Structure 1
Amino acid sequence: MSAADTKEVLTEVEDGVLIVTINRPDAKNAMSKAAAEGIAAAMDRLDAEDDLRVGILTGAGGTFCSGMDLKGFLRGESPTVEGRGFGGVVQAPPAKPLIAAVEGYALAGGLELMIACDLVVAHKDAKFGIPEVKRGLVAAAGGVMMLPDQISERIAMELALTGEFIDAQRAYELGLINEVVDAPALEGAKTLAAKIAANGPLAVKVSKQVMRQSRGWDMEERYEKQGQLIAPVFVSEDAREGAAAFAEKRKPNWKGK
Protein backbone atom coordinates (compact mmCIF):
# COMPACT_ATOMS: atom_id res chain seq x y z
CA MET A 1 0.00 0.00 0.00
CA SER A 2 1.46 3.35 -1.01
CA ALA A 3 1.14 6.72 0.69
CA ALA A 4 -1.14 7.89 -2.14
CA ASP A 5 -3.70 5.16 -1.48
CA THR A 6 -7.15 5.87 -0.12
CA LYS A 7 -9.06 3.28 1.84
CA GLU A 8 -11.30 2.72 -1.20
CA VAL A 9 -8.48 2.07 -3.70
CA LEU A 10 -5.25 0.21 -2.89
CA THR A 11 -2.13 0.00 -5.05
CA GLU A 12 0.81 -2.34 -5.06
CA VAL A 13 3.82 -2.68 -7.35
CA GLU A 14 5.16 -6.09 -8.28
CA ASP A 15 7.83 -6.63 -10.94
CA GLY A 16 6.93 -3.51 -12.90
CA VAL A 17 3.20 -4.15 -12.64
CA LEU A 18 0.91 -1.70 -10.84
CA ILE A 19 -1.93 -3.61 -9.18
CA VAL A 20 -4.93 -1.38 -8.48
CA THR A 21 -7.63 -2.82 -6.20
CA ILE A 22 -11.10 -1.36 -5.68
CA ASN A 23 -11.48 -1.81 -1.93
CA ARG A 24 -15.19 -1.58 -1.11
CA PRO A 25 -15.95 -5.28 -0.59
CA ASP A 26 -18.90 -4.63 1.74
CA ALA A 27 -20.59 -2.75 -1.13
CA LYS A 28 -19.46 -5.30 -3.76
CA ASN A 29 -17.00 -2.64 -4.94
CA ALA A 30 -19.77 -0.36 -6.18
CA MET A 31 -18.09 2.71 -7.64
CA SER A 32 -18.02 5.80 -5.43
CA LYS A 33 -16.61 9.24 -6.11
CA ALA A 34 -13.63 8.51 -3.86
CA ALA A 35 -12.92 5.19 -5.59
CA ALA A 36 -13.10 6.86 -9.01
CA GLU A 37 -10.61 9.49 -7.90
CA GLY A 38 -8.32 6.79 -6.51
CA ILE A 39 -8.35 4.87 -9.79
CA ALA A 40 -7.68 8.06 -11.77
CA ALA A 41 -4.67 8.82 -9.57
CA ALA A 42 -3.39 5.27 -10.08
CA MET A 43 -3.74 5.57 -13.86
CA ASP A 44 -1.78 8.84 -13.77
CA ARG A 45 0.93 7.08 -11.79
CA LEU A 46 1.01 4.13 -14.21
CA ASP A 47 1.72 6.43 -17.14
CA ALA A 48 4.09 8.74 -15.25
CA GLU A 49 6.52 6.21 -13.77
CA ASP A 50 8.94 4.63 -16.25
CA ASP A 51 9.49 1.55 -14.10
CA LEU A 52 5.81 0.64 -14.37
CA ARG A 53 5.07 -1.35 -17.53
CA VAL A 54 1.54 -2.72 -17.08
CA GLY A 55 -1.47 -2.07 -14.85
CA ILE A 56 -3.96 -4.54 -13.39
CA LEU A 57 -7.38 -3.42 -12.18
CA THR A 58 -9.20 -5.74 -9.80
CA GLY A 59 -11.62 -5.76 -6.88
CA ALA A 60 -11.33 -6.87 -3.26
CA GLY A 61 -13.44 -9.53 -1.61
CA GLY A 62 -14.28 -11.71 -4.59
CA THR A 63 -16.09 -9.14 -6.75
CA PHE A 64 -14.72 -6.94 -9.52
CA CYS A 65 -17.29 -4.13 -9.47
CA SER A 66 -21.07 -4.18 -9.21
CA GLY A 67 -21.51 -0.81 -10.90
CA MET A 68 -22.36 2.65 -9.67
CA ASP A 69 -22.95 3.13 -5.95
CA LEU A 70 -26.71 3.71 -6.05
CA LYS A 71 -26.71 5.07 -2.51
CA GLY A 72 -24.23 7.69 -3.61
CA PHE A 73 -26.32 8.34 -6.72
CA LEU A 74 -29.36 9.06 -4.56
CA ARG A 75 -27.25 11.53 -2.56
CA GLY A 76 -26.36 13.31 -5.80
CA GLU A 77 -22.84 11.92 -5.99
CA SER A 78 -21.33 11.14 -9.39
CA PRO A 79 -18.60 8.44 -9.43
CA THR A 80 -16.74 10.17 -12.25
CA VAL A 81 -13.59 12.21 -12.68
CA GLU A 82 -13.49 15.15 -15.07
CA GLY A 83 -11.64 14.22 -18.23
CA ARG A 84 -11.56 10.53 -17.29
CA GLY A 85 -15.24 9.69 -16.87
CA PHE A 86 -16.81 6.89 -14.84
CA GLY A 87 -14.48 5.13 -12.44
CA GLY A 88 -11.69 7.51 -13.35
CA VAL A 89 -10.77 5.50 -16.44
CA VAL A 90 -13.51 4.75 -19.01
CA GLN A 91 -13.14 7.92 -21.10
CA ALA A 92 -9.37 8.17 -20.85
CA PRO A 93 -7.64 4.83 -20.26
CA PRO A 94 -3.89 4.89 -19.61
CA ALA A 95 -1.41 4.85 -22.47
CA LYS A 96 0.18 1.72 -21.01
CA PRO A 97 -1.59 -1.66 -21.07
CA LEU A 98 -4.30 -2.25 -18.47
CA ILE A 99 -5.59 -5.73 -17.59
CA ALA A 100 -8.85 -6.41 -15.76
CA ALA A 101 -8.73 -9.30 -13.28
CA VAL A 102 -12.36 -10.25 -12.70
CA GLU A 103 -13.78 -12.26 -9.82
CA GLY A 104 -17.50 -12.46 -9.08
CA TYR A 105 -19.49 -9.78 -10.83
CA ALA A 106 -18.58 -7.20 -13.49
CA LEU A 107 -21.95 -5.54 -13.87
CA ALA A 108 -23.25 -2.22 -15.18
CA GLY A 109 -20.48 0.31 -14.55
CA GLY A 110 -18.31 -2.63 -13.52
CA LEU A 111 -18.59 -4.11 -17.00
CA GLU A 112 -17.86 -0.68 -18.44
CA LEU A 113 -14.72 -0.47 -16.33
CA MET A 114 -13.74 -3.90 -17.61
CA ILE A 115 -14.23 -3.13 -21.29
CA ALA A 116 -12.19 0.06 -20.89
CA CYS A 117 -9.26 -2.23 -20.06
CA ASP A 118 -7.16 -3.74 -22.85
CA LEU A 119 -7.22 -7.36 -21.71
CA VAL A 120 -9.39 -9.39 -19.33
CA VAL A 121 -8.66 -12.45 -17.21
CA ALA A 122 -11.71 -13.82 -15.39
CA HIS A 123 -12.43 -16.55 -12.89
CA LYS A 124 -14.65 -19.32 -14.22
CA ASP A 125 -17.49 -18.30 -11.88
CA ALA A 126 -17.53 -14.63 -12.94
CA LYS A 127 -20.69 -13.03 -14.33
CA PHE A 128 -21.04 -10.12 -16.74
CA GLY A 129 -23.84 -7.80 -17.77
CA ILE A 130 -25.23 -4.30 -18.24
CA PRO A 131 -28.55 -4.52 -16.33
CA GLU A 132 -29.18 -0.77 -16.21
CA VAL A 133 -32.49 -1.09 -18.08
CA LYS A 134 -33.82 -3.15 -15.18
CA ARG A 135 -33.46 0.00 -13.05
CA GLY A 136 -34.79 2.40 -15.67
CA LEU A 137 -31.28 3.56 -16.55
CA VAL A 138 -28.92 3.35 -19.54
CA ALA A 139 -25.38 1.91 -19.57
CA ALA A 140 -24.04 5.40 -20.23
CA ALA A 141 -20.42 4.92 -19.15
CA GLY A 142 -19.52 3.34 -22.48
CA GLY A 143 -21.57 0.15 -22.32
CA VAL A 144 -23.99 0.85 -25.14
CA MET A 145 -21.26 2.49 -27.22
CA MET A 146 -18.19 0.33 -26.59
CA LEU A 147 -19.69 -3.14 -26.25
CA PRO A 148 -20.67 -3.34 -29.97
CA ASP A 149 -17.02 -2.57 -30.81
CA GLN A 150 -15.88 -5.62 -28.86
CA ILE A 151 -18.50 -8.29 -29.57
CA SER A 152 -21.25 -8.93 -32.12
CA GLU A 153 -23.65 -6.00 -32.33
CA ARG A 154 -26.63 -8.35 -32.04
CA ILE A 155 -25.29 -9.92 -28.84
CA ALA A 156 -24.40 -6.49 -27.45
CA MET A 157 -27.93 -5.34 -28.25
CA GLU A 158 -29.39 -8.35 -26.43
CA LEU A 159 -27.31 -7.65 -23.33
CA ALA A 160 -28.26 -3.95 -23.37
CA LEU A 161 -31.99 -4.45 -23.91
CA THR A 162 -32.60 -7.46 -21.67
CA GLY A 163 -30.18 -6.61 -18.90
CA GLU A 164 -29.42 -10.32 -18.52
CA PHE A 165 -26.05 -11.72 -17.39
CA ILE A 166 -23.65 -14.05 -19.15
CA ASP A 167 -21.09 -16.36 -17.55
CA ALA A 168 -17.33 -16.47 -18.06
CA GLN A 169 -17.37 -19.26 -20.62
CA ARG A 170 -19.92 -17.44 -22.76
CA ALA A 171 -17.95 -14.19 -22.43
CA TYR A 172 -14.83 -16.03 -23.58
CA GLU A 173 -16.63 -17.58 -26.56
CA LEU A 174 -17.85 -14.11 -27.57
CA GLY A 175 -14.31 -12.71 -27.42
CA LEU A 176 -15.21 -10.35 -24.58
CA ILE A 177 -12.48 -11.73 -22.32
CA ASN A 178 -9.06 -13.23 -23.00
CA GLU A 179 -8.82 -16.06 -20.51
CA VAL A 180 -10.93 -18.06 -18.05
CA VAL A 181 -9.02 -19.40 -15.03
CA ASP A 182 -9.75 -21.79 -12.16
CA ALA A 183 -7.22 -20.06 -9.90
CA PRO A 184 -7.64 -16.48 -8.65
CA ALA A 185 -8.07 -14.10 -11.58
CA LEU A 186 -5.35 -11.82 -10.22
CA GLU A 187 -2.79 -14.62 -10.51
CA GLY A 188 -3.77 -15.18 -14.14
CA ALA A 189 -3.58 -11.46 -14.79
CA LYS A 190 -0.09 -11.30 -13.26
CA THR A 191 1.07 -14.07 -15.59
CA LEU A 192 -0.29 -12.20 -18.60
CA ALA A 193 1.19 -8.92 -17.35
CA ALA A 194 4.62 -10.52 -17.00
CA LYS A 195 4.55 -11.56 -20.66
CA ILE A 196 3.81 -7.95 -21.65
CA ALA A 197 6.32 -6.43 -19.22
CA ALA A 198 9.08 -8.58 -20.75
CA ASN A 199 8.72 -6.74 -24.07
CA GLY A 200 10.02 -3.38 -25.24
CA PRO A 201 8.00 -0.70 -23.39
CA LEU A 202 8.00 1.78 -26.26
CA ALA A 203 6.89 -0.88 -28.71
CA VAL A 204 4.13 -2.06 -26.35
CA LYS A 205 2.83 1.46 -25.73
CA VAL A 206 2.75 2.40 -29.41
CA SER A 207 1.24 -0.94 -30.43
CA LYS A 208 -1.65 -0.23 -28.07
CA GLN A 209 -1.92 3.35 -29.34
CA VAL A 210 -2.15 2.28 -32.98
CA MET A 211 -4.68 -0.47 -32.25
CA ARG A 212 -6.88 1.89 -30.26
CA GLN A 213 -6.73 4.85 -32.63
CA SER A 214 -6.53 3.28 -36.08
CA ARG A 215 -10.18 2.17 -36.16
CA GLY A 216 -11.12 5.84 -36.49
CA TRP A 217 -8.68 6.56 -39.32
CA ASP A 218 -9.69 6.86 -42.96
CA MET A 219 -8.41 3.91 -44.98
CA GLU A 220 -6.22 6.05 -47.23
CA GLU A 221 -4.55 7.69 -44.22
CA ARG A 222 -3.89 4.60 -42.15
CA TYR A 223 -0.30 3.82 -43.07
CA GLU A 224 0.72 7.47 -43.00
CA LYS A 225 -0.74 7.96 -39.52
CA GLN A 226 0.73 4.70 -38.29
CA GLY A 227 4.12 5.71 -39.67
CA GLN A 228 4.09 8.92 -37.66
CA LEU A 229 3.53 6.97 -34.46
CA ILE A 230 5.89 4.06 -35.04
CA ALA A 231 8.84 5.90 -36.60
CA PRO A 232 10.37 6.85 -33.21
CA VAL A 233 10.16 3.21 -32.09
CA PHE A 234 12.24 1.96 -35.01
CA VAL A 235 15.08 4.41 -34.30
CA SER A 236 15.01 3.97 -30.52
CA GLU A 237 17.74 2.56 -28.32
CA ASP A 238 15.33 -0.25 -27.43
CA ALA A 239 15.00 -1.29 -31.08
CA ARG A 240 18.78 -1.63 -31.36
CA GLU A 241 18.92 -3.44 -28.02
CA GLY A 242 16.21 -5.87 -29.11
CA ALA A 243 18.12 -6.78 -32.25
CA ALA A 244 21.41 -7.11 -30.37
CA ALA A 245 19.86 -9.28 -27.67
CA PHE A 246 18.41 -11.58 -30.32
CA ALA A 247 21.76 -11.89 -32.08
CA GLU A 248 23.58 -12.50 -28.80
CA LYS A 249 20.94 -14.94 -27.52
CA ARG A 250 20.28 -13.05 -24.29
CA LYS A 251 17.42 -11.19 -22.64
CA PRO A 252 17.14 -7.54 -23.71
CA ASN A 253 17.84 -4.75 -21.25
CA TRP A 254 15.10 -2.27 -22.07
CA LYS A 255 15.55 1.43 -21.33
CA GLY A 256 12.21 2.68 -22.62
CA LYS A 257 13.87 5.10 -25.02
Structure 2
Amino acid sequence: MDPIKTRAEDGVLEVTLDRPKANAIDLVTSRRMGEVFAEFRDDPSLRVAIITGAGEKFFCPGWDLKAAAEGDAVDGNYGVGGFGGLQELRDLNKPVIAAVNGIACGGGLELAISADMILAAEHATFALPEIRSGTVADAASIKLPKRIPYHIAMELLLTGRWFDAEEGKGWGLVNEIVPANRLMDRAWELARLLASGPPLVYAAIKEVVRDAEDSKFQDAMNRVTQRQLRSVDVLYSSEDQLEGARAFAEKRDPVWKGK
Protein backbone atom coordinates (compact mmCIF):
# COMPACT_ATOMS: atom_id res chain seq x y z
CA MET A 1 0.00 0.00 0.00
CA ASP A 2 1.12 3.55 -0.69
CA PRO A 3 2.37 5.02 2.61
CA ILE A 4 1.42 8.49 1.38
CA LYS A 5 -2.21 9.46 0.99
CA THR A 6 -3.08 12.66 -0.88
CA ARG A 7 -6.17 14.79 -1.33
CA ALA A 8 -6.36 17.86 -3.56
CA GLU A 9 -9.12 20.46 -3.39
CA ASP A 10 -9.39 24.21 -4.05
CA GLY A 11 -5.67 24.52 -4.82
CA VAL A 12 -4.69 22.76 -1.57
CA LEU A 13 -2.83 19.44 -1.41
CA GLU A 14 -3.19 17.42 1.80
CA VAL A 15 -0.38 14.90 2.25
CA THR A 16 -0.87 12.27 4.95
CA LEU A 17 1.96 10.03 6.12
CA ASP A 18 0.15 6.73 6.74
CA ARG A 19 2.59 3.99 7.67
CA PRO A 20 1.42 1.99 10.69
CA LYS A 21 2.18 1.68 13.47
CA ALA A 22 4.02 4.94 14.03
CA ASN A 23 4.38 6.66 10.63
CA ALA A 24 8.14 6.11 10.65
CA ILE A 25 9.92 6.88 7.39
CA ASP A 26 12.01 4.31 5.52
CA LEU A 27 13.81 4.81 2.22
CA VAL A 28 10.81 3.87 0.07
CA THR A 29 8.55 6.25 1.99
CA SER A 30 11.06 9.11 1.88
CA ARG A 31 11.49 8.74 -1.87
CA ARG A 32 7.71 8.61 -2.35
CA MET A 33 7.31 11.79 -0.29
CA GLY A 34 9.89 13.47 -2.49
CA GLU A 35 7.91 12.55 -5.59
CA VAL A 36 4.69 13.92 -4.06
CA PHE A 37 6.21 17.23 -3.03
CA ALA A 38 8.06 17.65 -6.33
CA GLU A 39 4.75 17.15 -8.15
CA PHE A 40 3.17 19.70 -5.82
CA ARG A 41 5.97 22.17 -6.56
CA ASP A 42 5.58 21.75 -10.32
CA ASP A 43 1.77 21.74 -10.55
CA PRO A 44 0.48 25.30 -11.13
CA SER A 45 -3.02 24.30 -10.01
CA LEU A 46 -1.75 23.56 -6.48
CA ARG A 47 -0.88 26.52 -4.28
CA VAL A 48 -0.56 25.25 -0.70
CA ALA A 49 0.32 21.91 0.92
CA ILE A 50 -0.55 20.42 4.30
CA ILE A 51 1.60 17.63 5.75
CA THR A 52 0.16 15.53 8.58
CA GLY A 53 0.21 12.00 9.98
CA ALA A 54 -2.48 9.34 10.08
CA GLY A 55 -4.08 8.56 13.42
CA GLU A 56 -4.02 10.52 16.65
CA LYS A 57 -0.82 9.31 18.34
CA PHE A 58 2.00 9.86 15.86
CA PHE A 59 2.80 12.65 13.43
CA CYS A 60 6.14 11.01 12.65
CA PRO A 61 8.96 9.59 14.79
CA GLY A 62 11.46 10.11 11.99
CA TRP A 63 13.73 7.45 10.54
CA ASP A 64 12.53 3.84 10.77
CA LEU A 65 15.27 2.36 12.95
CA LYS A 66 13.75 -1.14 12.77
CA ALA A 67 13.97 -1.06 8.98
CA ALA A 68 17.52 0.26 9.24
CA ALA A 69 18.46 -2.61 11.58
CA GLU A 70 17.11 -5.05 9.00
CA GLY A 71 19.29 -3.61 6.24
CA ASP A 72 17.39 -0.55 5.03
CA ALA A 73 20.64 1.34 5.43
CA VAL A 74 21.06 5.08 5.21
CA ASP A 75 22.98 5.60 1.98
CA GLY A 76 22.39 9.30 1.50
CA ASN A 77 19.81 8.72 -1.23
CA TYR A 78 16.56 9.69 0.42
CA GLY A 79 15.14 10.76 -2.92
CA VAL A 80 14.38 14.14 -4.42
CA GLY A 81 13.98 16.66 -1.61
CA GLY A 82 16.08 14.71 0.87
CA PHE A 83 14.64 13.06 3.97
CA GLY A 84 10.85 13.26 3.95
CA GLY A 85 10.80 15.05 0.61
CA LEU A 86 10.85 18.57 2.04
CA GLN A 87 14.15 19.34 3.70
CA GLU A 88 16.22 19.79 0.55
CA LEU A 89 13.62 20.21 -2.17
CA ARG A 90 14.93 22.94 -4.44
CA ASP A 91 12.77 25.87 -5.55
CA LEU A 92 9.77 24.96 -3.41
CA ASN A 93 8.20 28.39 -3.55
CA LYS A 94 4.75 27.52 -2.24
CA PRO A 95 3.53 27.60 1.38
CA VAL A 96 3.57 24.35 3.37
CA ILE A 97 1.69 23.85 6.64
CA ALA A 98 2.58 21.08 9.10
CA ALA A 99 -0.42 19.83 11.06
CA VAL A 100 1.25 17.94 13.91
CA ASN A 101 -1.30 15.45 15.19
CA GLY A 102 0.83 13.68 17.80
CA ILE A 103 4.42 12.68 18.51
CA ALA A 104 6.96 14.46 16.30
CA CYS A 105 10.46 13.41 17.21
CA GLY A 106 13.80 13.08 15.48
CA GLY A 107 13.32 13.31 11.74
CA GLY A 108 9.62 13.88 12.34
CA LEU A 109 10.38 17.16 14.08
CA GLU A 110 12.82 17.99 11.29
CA LEU A 111 10.02 17.32 8.79
CA ALA A 112 7.72 19.69 10.70
CA ILE A 113 10.26 22.51 10.81
CA SER A 114 10.77 22.12 7.05
CA ALA A 115 7.24 23.54 6.69
CA ASP A 116 6.52 27.26 6.75
CA MET A 117 3.94 27.12 9.54
CA ILE A 118 3.27 24.58 12.29
CA LEU A 119 -0.12 23.84 13.82
CA ALA A 120 -0.07 21.41 16.72
CA ALA A 121 -2.77 19.36 18.42
CA GLU A 122 -2.99 20.01 22.16
CA HIS A 123 -1.47 16.59 22.94
CA ALA A 124 1.44 16.86 20.46
CA THR A 125 4.91 16.29 21.87
CA PHE A 126 8.34 16.86 20.39
CA ALA A 127 11.94 15.73 20.88
CA LEU A 128 15.29 15.27 19.16
CA PRO A 129 16.46 11.98 20.69
CA GLU A 130 19.14 11.19 18.09
CA ILE A 131 21.90 11.36 20.70
CA ARG A 132 20.48 8.19 22.27
CA SER A 133 20.92 6.28 19.02
CA GLY A 134 24.43 7.56 18.48
CA THR A 135 23.75 9.91 15.61
CA VAL A 136 23.23 13.59 14.90
CA ALA A 137 19.99 15.39 14.14
CA ASP A 138 21.66 17.01 11.16
CA ALA A 139 18.86 19.15 9.71
CA ALA A 140 17.73 20.22 13.19
CA SER A 141 21.29 21.14 14.13
CA ILE A 142 21.36 23.50 11.16
CA LYS A 143 17.83 24.90 11.35
CA LEU A 144 16.74 24.94 14.98
CA PRO A 145 19.27 27.49 16.35
CA LYS A 146 18.01 29.87 13.64
CA ARG A 147 14.36 29.37 14.61
CA ILE A 148 14.42 29.57 18.40
CA PRO A 149 16.87 30.96 20.98
CA TYR A 150 20.31 29.39 20.59
CA HIS A 151 20.62 28.12 24.15
CA ILE A 152 17.21 26.44 24.03
CA ALA A 153 17.99 24.82 20.68
CA MET A 154 21.28 23.52 22.04
CA GLU A 155 19.60 22.17 25.16
CA LEU A 156 17.10 20.24 23.04
CA LEU A 157 19.81 18.92 20.72
CA LEU A 158 22.24 17.97 23.50
CA THR A 159 19.76 16.41 25.94
CA GLY A 160 17.13 14.97 23.61
CA ARG A 161 14.45 15.89 26.15
CA TRP A 162 10.77 16.01 25.31
CA PHE A 163 8.70 19.18 25.24
CA ASP A 164 5.01 19.78 24.66
CA ALA A 165 3.09 21.99 22.25
CA GLU A 166 2.70 24.77 24.80
CA GLU A 167 6.46 25.04 25.28
CA GLY A 168 6.98 24.87 21.52
CA LYS A 169 4.59 27.76 21.05
CA GLY A 170 6.36 29.70 23.79
CA TRP A 171 9.63 29.45 21.89
CA GLY A 172 7.97 30.42 18.60
CA LEU A 173 8.37 26.99 17.06
CA VAL A 174 4.61 26.34 16.91
CA ASN A 175 2.22 28.90 15.39
CA GLU A 176 -1.01 27.63 16.92
CA ILE A 177 -2.22 24.97 19.33
CA VAL A 178 -5.55 23.46 18.28
CA PRO A 179 -7.86 20.86 19.87
CA ALA A 180 -7.16 17.52 18.23
CA ASN A 181 -10.63 17.27 16.72
CA ARG A 182 -10.18 20.69 15.10
CA LEU A 183 -6.62 20.33 13.85
CA MET A 184 -7.32 19.45 10.22
CA ASP A 185 -10.26 21.85 9.97
CA ARG A 186 -7.97 24.65 11.11
CA ALA A 187 -5.18 23.51 8.77
CA TRP A 188 -7.58 23.59 5.80
CA GLU A 189 -8.98 26.95 6.89
CA LEU A 190 -5.49 28.42 6.90
CA ALA A 191 -4.54 26.64 3.67
CA ARG A 192 -7.60 27.99 1.84
CA LEU A 193 -6.76 31.49 3.05
CA LEU A 194 -3.26 31.15 1.63
CA ALA A 195 -4.53 29.55 -1.58
CA SER A 196 -6.68 32.63 -2.18
CA GLY A 197 -3.61 34.87 -2.02
CA PRO A 198 -1.06 35.92 -4.66
CA PRO A 199 1.08 32.89 -5.61
CA LEU A 200 3.78 34.93 -7.31
CA VAL A 201 4.22 37.03 -4.16
CA TYR A 202 4.46 33.88 -2.04
CA ALA A 203 7.12 32.53 -4.39
CA ALA A 204 9.11 35.75 -4.13
CA ILE A 205 8.83 35.79 -0.33
CA LYS A 206 10.12 32.23 -0.02
CA GLU A 207 13.02 32.76 -2.42
CA VAL A 208 14.02 36.05 -0.78
CA VAL A 209 13.93 34.45 2.68
CA ARG A 210 16.10 31.53 1.53
CA ASP A 211 18.55 33.77 -0.29
CA ALA A 212 18.87 36.18 2.61
CA GLU A 213 19.39 33.53 5.27
CA ASP A 214 23.19 33.68 5.10
CA SER A 215 23.58 37.06 3.36
CA LYS A 216 24.36 40.53 4.55
CA PHE A 217 21.31 42.79 4.46
CA GLN A 218 22.52 45.07 1.68
CA ASP A 219 23.72 42.18 -0.48
CA ALA A 220 20.31 40.55 -0.23
CA MET A 221 18.53 43.84 -0.91
CA ASN A 222 20.67 44.44 -3.98
CA ARG A 223 19.73 41.05 -5.41
CA VAL A 224 16.05 41.87 -4.89
CA THR A 225 16.09 45.42 -6.28
CA GLN A 226 18.24 44.37 -9.25
CA ARG A 227 15.82 41.50 -9.96
CA GLN A 228 18.54 38.87 -9.71
CA LEU A 229 16.17 36.36 -8.08
CA ARG A 230 14.01 34.57 -10.62
CA SER A 231 10.76 34.71 -8.61
CA VAL A 232 11.20 38.44 -7.97
CA ASP A 233 11.88 39.12 -11.65
CA VAL A 234 8.77 37.14 -12.64
CA LEU A 235 6.65 39.00 -10.07
CA TYR A 236 7.80 42.46 -11.15
CA SER A 237 6.87 41.67 -14.77
CA SER A 238 3.59 39.95 -13.98
CA GLU A 239 -0.06 40.61 -14.66
CA ASP A 240 -0.70 39.92 -10.98
CA GLN A 241 1.35 42.91 -9.87
CA LEU A 242 -0.69 45.16 -12.17
CA GLU A 243 -3.88 43.51 -10.94
CA GLY A 244 -2.95 44.27 -7.33
CA ALA A 245 -2.54 47.97 -8.11
CA ARG A 246 -5.74 48.11 -10.15
CA ALA A 247 -7.78 46.31 -7.49
CA PHE A 248 -6.55 48.75 -4.86
CA ALA A 249 -7.41 51.75 -7.03
CA GLU A 250 -10.83 50.30 -7.88
CA LYS A 251 -11.53 49.31 -4.26
CA ARG A 252 -12.19 45.66 -5.05
CA ASP A 253 -10.67 42.30 -4.24
CA PRO A 254 -7.86 41.31 -6.60
CA VAL A 255 -8.18 38.26 -8.85
CA TRP A 256 -4.86 36.45 -8.84
CA LYS A 257 -3.92 34.41 -11.91
CA GLY A 258 -0.39 33.44 -10.98
CA LYS A 259 1.03 35.02 -14.12
Q: TM-score, normalised by structure 2?
A: 0.91
> How many angstroms does 1:42 deviate by?
1.2
- 1:64 is paired with a residue whose SS is strand
One-letter amino acid of the structure 1 residue matched with residue 255 of structure 2: N
Partner of 2:242: 240
Cα contact 1:13–1:19 (8 A) shared by 2: yes
One-letter amino acid of the structure 1 residue matched with residue 12 of structure 2: V
> How many angstroms does 1:75 deviate by?
2.3
**Are positions 1:151 and 2:148 aligned together?**
yes
> How many angstroms does 1:47 deviate by?
1.2
Cα distance in 1 for residues equivalent to 2:31 and 2:159: 31
One-letter amino acid of the structure 2 residue matched with residue 52 of structure 1: L
* Structure 2 portions without partners, runs of 5+: none
> How many angstroms does 1:84 deviate by?
2.2
One-letter amino acid of the structure 1 residue matched with residue 156 of structure 2: L
1:132–1:247 Cα change, 3 Å:
same
Cα contact 1:59–1:65 (8 A) shared by 2: yes
Partner of 1:16: 11
Percent sequence identity over matched residues? 39
- 1:184 is paired with a residue whose SS is helix
Aligned length: 250
Q: 1:46 aligns with which of 34, 37, 40?
A: 40
Partner of 1:104: 102
Cα contact 1:103–1:184 (8 A) shared by 2: no
**Are positions 1:192 and 2:211 aligned together?**
no
Cα contact 1:106–1:128 (8 A) shared by 2: yes
Deviations for 1:103-139, whole angstroms, at most 9, x for unmatched residues? 1111001001011111111111100110111222221
Cα contact 2:131–2:159 (8 A) shared by 1: yes
Cα distance in 2 for residues equivalent to 1:85 and 1:78: 15
Deviations for 1:127-183, whole angstroms, at most 9, x for unmatched residues? 01101112222212x011111111111111111111111100100010001111114
> How many angstroms does 1:78 deviate by?
4.6
Partner of 2:217: 219
- 1:27 is paired with a residue whose SS is coil
* Structure 1 portions without partners, runs of 5+: 1-5
Q: TM-score, normalised by structure 1?
A: 0.91
Cα distance in 2 for residues equivalent to 1:157 and 1:88: 25
Cα contact 2:103–2:125 (8 A) shared by 1: yes
Cα distance in 1 for residues equivalent to 2:161 and 2:182: 25
Name the Cα RMSD after superposition.
1.7
> How many angstroms does 1:255 deviate by?
1.4
